[in-house]
Amino acid sequence: MTRDTFRQEIRTLSLTKYLSEIMSACYEGLYKLKPQGEIDAAVEISSALHQRFGPANFTEYLGWSKPGGKHPTHRHGDAR
């Protein structure tokens, strides 16, 4: 899959009902990145998701907790 295709799919696919799973995967995955290529890809994916869902529904949840702490999507007892 090319980058353009991937970005287009992030913009157009119906992802809202999967948003909590996407946030969990991003949150957990960001702490495991090591090679520069993985970091570059994660930045691009996170940027595309931020542009689609915005800070209130996506980005702010990525920085709420440290690894092993309480997961940000469950901070109010809901699974947004």
Quote the pTM value. 0.71
Residues 13-65 have pLDDT tens digits of 999 999 999 999 998 898 899 999 999 999 999 999 999 999 888 888 887 65
pLDDT at 70: 54
Stronger pLDDT, 66 or 18, i.e. the higher one: 18
Stronger pLDDT, 10 or 71, i.e. the higher one: 10
Rama region for 68: left / alpha / beta (φ>0; ψ in -120 to 50; rest)? left
Question: Cα–Cα distance between 42 and 61 in angstroms, integer?
Answer: 16
pLDDT at 80: 39
